[in-house]
Structure 1
Amino acid sequence: MKKLHLCIALWILTTGFCVGQKKKADSYSEYKSRSSQSSVAELLRNAEMAKSSNAAQALDYVQEALGMSLAQGDILNEARCYLLLGEINEQITEWTLALENYNKAFQRLAVRFSASPEYSKTLRGMGSTYLKVGNYEQALSYFQQALQLKTSALEKAELQVSVSEVYYQQGNYQQALAATEAIAVNQKTGDEILLGKIQNQKAKIYARLKEVDKANDFYQSSQLNMRASGAAAPARDEALKQTKEEISGALREQKRFDEDISLRNQAIDYNLESNNLNEVSKDKIELSKSLVAKGETTQAIQQLQEAATLADSIQNSKDEASAYLTLATLYEKNNRPSEALKAYQKYSRAITRQAEQTEASQQERAEILRKQKEIESLSNEVIAGQRAEQTLLQQQQLTIYGLLVLIAIILVTSYFIYKSAQASRRANQLLALKSLRGQMNPHFIFNALNSVNQFISQNDERAANKYLSEFSRLMRLVLENSQEDFISLQKEEEIISLYVKLEHYRFRDKFEYSITIDETLNKEAIQLPPMLIQPYIENAVWHGLRYKEEKGKLELAFHQHNNLLQVIITDNGIGRQKSAQLKTANQKKHSSTGLKNIEERLQILNTVYKTQYTVAIEDLQADSGTRVVISIPVTT
């Protein structure tokens, strides 16, 4: 009976194996049949045209081309597909994937197609990617390998510029100059693009060497040659922008502000002509800094206002936020609190929009990476299909062997599916965590700005200025750390102390406070999530102590219990029950939203980092206040 059961099991598995192999063979045959209807070369041309403007669509073309190339066994076209994938990954700054795909192209080209243009292009792509990730030794190696190939004089000259860039990034400026001097360019041949690149490279190097006049001369010549040549606008403008920033930095360092202003105005005029409005807004922000340095505050304010308006019109929230923050700081320094407040409010709205745009961009990026995984899966499927077709032609005696292969494939596939799902789930959780953290900052900033507004409405300009100065410092600390998953207890103490000081400044007749930190705690080593404690302090002040008739007390205590950092927030306010009775519907909504965000953050933190963050809220007797105990796993 046992043998019968075993035979039945083997028959079921064997049947499943054959069906599975047939499906894989069908997938392989499907791509094989498509190759007669579509041209791989045409698909690759379409992908090349789409990669700069629509990476997701380009990946669709590459997926189709790769499937057909694999089905045909066309190694050269397989390599072309992987080369294009590497370029797309490099374009979206996915360096690891870029190197993986360049390496796949390299492996297919190195033996049989080392004289092909694709091989040289692959070496340059690998060198470029290693340069961008700071692996200068590898970058130099691949550029030098490409230089050994039989390529045109123009390509060799381009590679020499790349070699110069490696030395430049390493800080070997004399070697970088020597590399550019080794390039023989006949200015009468019409190679203005190459000549412009060489001049631009020299300009960057001389700027780093603080020889600003030489740098500017080469920069001006580079602009003329590159713009006259009709070089591709994005690459050309990016190269010129980098050099402009180097020269600008050197001019400011030497306090040659008039020349820096002239340089920025020249760039603004050109970018307006070429409709590069994003760069115009950036230049206006930088221009304002030199104007401030010269004491021309009015002109600086005008440039910042124009930059903010322009950035808003083109939905560039990042530059809009930068312009308003710089403007607010300038108003603040010039004792114009009302205008500073308005600028901070606009800045707050801009960073909210920026967070939304960042989230949308991350979703687009996630979609591109999903397509990339589909292509990897396709490659595995087609290769498996080829093998399946061969397996179906073999003798029946190989059934048991095939069964073992099937089991191995199932185990390996299950493992990779599990790992992929786990990685995707972790990525989504981290994205949600970042989104929740981002929601806290605008809410926190708006509350603080309302405090400033109250001082101004009470005609207490001195108090407003003092509060605004402290708030500005606090906001910078919060924003500096808002992108970090964890910060030190030392930094959190600084933020919390400043925040409580501001709340006390506003409600000084409502409560006194104390902050106690166990001296044995290693404040630099202990790490905790930012903006985790502040909402509970805010609740204690705004919903407990603020409504208390007599003066209350707020106590914050930090101490370590076993492997937990315990933060205890105690107030002797009116208590949660009475506070709930006094709240308006809008207040209840905002309060619950803030605490809900904290709860969601704690759940995600516990899931992602396998930790046990907990919060316990206790009502003290006779409606005499609330105690919150936050338990944080000690990580160093």
Structure 2
Amino acid sequence: DLNSKIAEVYDATGKTSEAQMFYSNSLNLASGENKKRAVEEKIKVADFQSKNRAYEEEIQLRKEALEDIEDIEHDSIIDNESSLTAQKQNYKIGNAYYLQKDYDSAIPYFEKSIREAETKQDLVVQKDAYRKLSEAFRDVGNYDKALASYQEYVNLVETLYVKKEQELSQLARFNRDIIAKQTRINSLETDRQLSQSQYLLSNERSKRQEWIIYSLIGGLILLLVMGYFMFKYIRQQRLANNLLALKSLRSQMNPHFIFNALNSVNSFIASSDERSANQYLTEFSQLMRAVLENSEQDFIPLEKEIELLQLYTKLEHFRFKDKFDYKITVDETIKISDFQIPPMLLQPYIENAVWHGLRYKTEKGHLWIDINKKSENEITITIADDGIGRERSKELKTDNQKKQNSKGMGNIKKRVTILNEMYKDKVDVYIDDYQAIDDKGTKVVVTLKKD
């Protein structure tokens, strides 16, 4: 941010105290942002403290950053090139202790850095940590371990050297291949030009015309072949992009539900209702397990989706018993096994009905989920409620809630669009508002085609 950049300018001009003040401001601001941003700022300030030999402040900041890095690594993979790696921060903490001649404190951090680097195959950090560990063991008089650590350092230097040599060798071989191929192409082009010149000189006008005709035919065939492969390539790329988009959209599903479910557990625990909390957690874990099992599938059997639907609706009702009752009906004439549906497609609409419609009613509302036969090859899944309706719900929401809800519905639309493009219009979603006097309510109709 701006404070951090100002601090960098002061630091570059030797005004350490002013830089310290602005870095302190940047730390305070970063702590209110996302965890990754906060960690980046802590590491930047820790580097500043290290440069100015404020090792205790550096160590404290890096230890705090390490705790946050562990949380970040649970949710995403951090590249070894990034400064946000546990192995690098453990190494720098060890180095700060070493520079203070606190060798006994430095050694465990060097060892931890080595373990982390070995797990993540970070040879560079592993090499540096072994070198510093060897120096620390030497300084405390443990020469056997110092020698062993130094030998590991030498081995890693050799490994990195061999690896770099292999990379350079591969690059040189690649360059040689390119040059050889280019030379061959140039030679072939020269031969072709010579042959063409001789051919033109040795043939009459009619032969030249014949050559032109054959050239046109060959060009047309080449264009057709190129067009075919281009079409195939574009189609494959489009499919790959659709699959990536689907995976991205699936990873964003149900954040509100998970957040609300955990809040429910928290409220049960706060009210000392341990039995309800345990029951809710048991059923919530069953639902999450089923969702994760199906998360990589584009479609699952409708029977499984109905089970997920029943479990999810039961959980919502468990929390809002005084707000609504619900009923799920399935037409017995439908052969459920013949139909498949995108996993958790219906859950966001039920979530909207409960959280943005029924929850705000003063009296008890109703939620109906009906699965009916439309034709031999189609069924309809209707989710209806007598809540306050979408228009009144918008009036009660904050700007952030409107944005989140809009984003959630937008993801559903994108997901349905991509699936229909890949599977030839298999799913259709229609949303309607009831026109009652008081509470409008909302109806969502999902039409599903048989495979």
TM score, norm. by length of structure 2: 0.55
Contact 1:437 1:531 in 2 (8 A): no
**Once the 2 structures are TM-superposed, how far is the Cα of residue 610 of structure 1 from its aligned partner?**
1.9
Higher relative contact order (CA 8 A, sep 6+): 1
The correspondence for 2:214, drawn from 387, 398, 401, is 401
2:327 is the counterpart of 1:485: no
Instruction: State the partner residue of 1:565.
Output: 379
Instruction: State the partner residue of 1:598.
Output: 412
**Once the 2 structures are TM-superposed, how far is the Cα of residue 436 of structure 1 from its aligned partner?**
0.5
Contact 2:323 2:359 in 1 (8 A): yes
5 Å-filtered alignment, 1:103-122, equals none
Specify the SS of the correspondent of 2:338.
coil
| Change in 2 beyond 3 A, CA 1:602/1:274 | closer
5 Å-filtered alignment, 1:234-633, equals 275-277=117-119, 386=188, 389-390=191-192, 393-394=195-196, 395-396=199-200, 397=207, 398-562=211-375, 563-620=377-434, 621-622=436-437, 623-633=439-449
Moved more, 478-487 or 401-410: 401-410
For residues 388 and 453 of structure 1, the distance between their equivalents in structure 2, rounded to whole angstroms, comes to 79
For residues 614 and 435 of structure 1, the distance between their equivalents in structure 2, rounded to whole angstroms, comes to 21
Specify the SS of the correspondent of 2:362.
coil
For residues 441 and 625 of structure 1, the distance between their equivalents in structure 2, rounded to whole angstroms, comes to 22
2:450 is the counterpart of 1:634: yes
- Structure 2: which amino acid aligns with 1:495? L
Instruction: State the partner residue of 2:174.
Output: none
- CA-to-aligned-CA distance 1:82-109 (integer Å, 9 cap, x gap): xxxxxxxxxxxxxxxxxxxxxxxxxxxx
Contact 1:558 1:568 in 2 (8 A): yes
- Structure 2: which amino acid aligns with 1:478? V
For residues 516 and 536 of structure 1, the distance between their equivalents in structure 2, rounded to whole angstroms, comes to 17
**Once the 2 structures are TM-superposed, how far is the Cα of residue 590 of structure 1 from its aligned partner?**
1.5
- CA-to-aligned-CA distance 1:10-51 (integer Å, 9 cap, x gap): xxxxxxxxxxxxxxxxxxxxxxxxxxxxxxxxxxxxxxxxxx
- CA-to-aligned-CA distance 1:184-214 (integer Å, 9 cap, x gap): xxxxxxxxxxxxxxxxxxxxxxxxxxxxxxx
For residues 384 and 538 of structure 1, the distance between their equivalents in structure 2, rounded to whole angstroms, comes to 66
- CA-to-aligned-CA distance 1:385-413 (integer Å, 9 cap, x gap): 94795366131333322221111111111
- CA-to-aligned-CA distance 1:55-86 (integer Å, 9 cap, x gap): xxxxxxxxxxxxxxxxxxxxxxxxxxxxxxxx
- CA-to-aligned-CA distance 1:309-333 (integer Å, 9 cap, x gap): xxxxxxxxxxxxxxxxxxxxxxxxx
How many residue pairs get aligned? The number is: 271
For residues 565 and 531 of structure 1, the distance between their equivalents in structure 2, rounded to whole angstroms, comes to 17
Instruction: State the partner residue of 1:151.
Output: none
Contact 2:353 2:385 in 1 (8 A): yes
**Once the 2 structures are TM-superposed, how far is the Cα of residue 441 of structure 1 from its aligned partner?**
4.3
For residues 383 and 427 of structure 1, the distance between their equivalents in structure 2, rounded to whole angstroms, comes to 33
Moved more, 543-552 or 580-589: 580-589
- Structure 1: which amino acid aligns with 2:213? I
5 Å-filtered alignment, 1:69-84, equals none
Instruction: State the partner residue of 2:165.
Output: none
For residues 462 and 434 of structure 1, the distance between their equivalents in structure 2, rounded to whole angstroms, comes to 37
Contact 2:339 2:449 in 1 (8 A): no
For residues 227 and 233 of structure 2, the distance between their equivalents in structure 1, rounded to whole angstroms, comes to 10
Contact 1:540 1:571 in 2 (8 A): yes
- Structure 1: which amino acid aligns with 2:195? L
**Once the 2 structures are TM-superposed, how far is the Cα of residue 600 of structure 1 from its aligned partner?**
0.9
Instruction: State the partner residue of 2:133.
Output: none
| Change in 2 beyond 3 A, CA 1:628/1:527 | same
- Structure 1: which amino acid aligns with 2:231? Y
- Measured on the aligned residues, the alpha-carbon RMSD in Å equals 3.1
**Once the 2 structures are TM-superposed, how far is the Cα of residue 583 of structure 1 from its aligned partner?**
1.5
Contact 2:338 2:450 in 1 (8 A): no
Specify the SS of the correspondent of 2:253.
helix
For residues 402 and 585 of structure 1, the distance between their equivalents in structure 2, rounded to whole angstroms, comes to 65
For residues 588 and 449 of structure 1, the distance between their equivalents in structure 2, rounded to whole angstroms, comes to 22
Instruction: State the partner residue of 2:26.
Output: none
**Once the 2 structures are TM-superposed, how far is the Cα of residue 587 of structure 1 from its aligned partner?**
1.7
- CA-to-aligned-CA distance 1:488-538 (integer Å, 9 cap, x gap): 011101111000000000001111111111122232331110121000000
- CA-to-aligned-CA distance 1:351-379 (integer Å, 9 cap, x gap): xxxxxxxxxxxxxxxxxxxxxxxx9xxx9
For residues 435 and 547 of structure 1, the distance between their equivalents in structure 2, rounded to whole angstroms, comes to 32
Structure 1: give runs of 5+ residues left out of the alignment.
1-268, 280-374
Contact 1:518 1:558 in 2 (8 A): yes
**Once the 2 structures are TM-superposed, how far is the Cα of residue 275 of structure 1 from its aligned partner?**
4.9
For residues 568 and 409 of structure 1, the distance between their equivalents in structure 2, rounded to whole angstroms, comes to 53
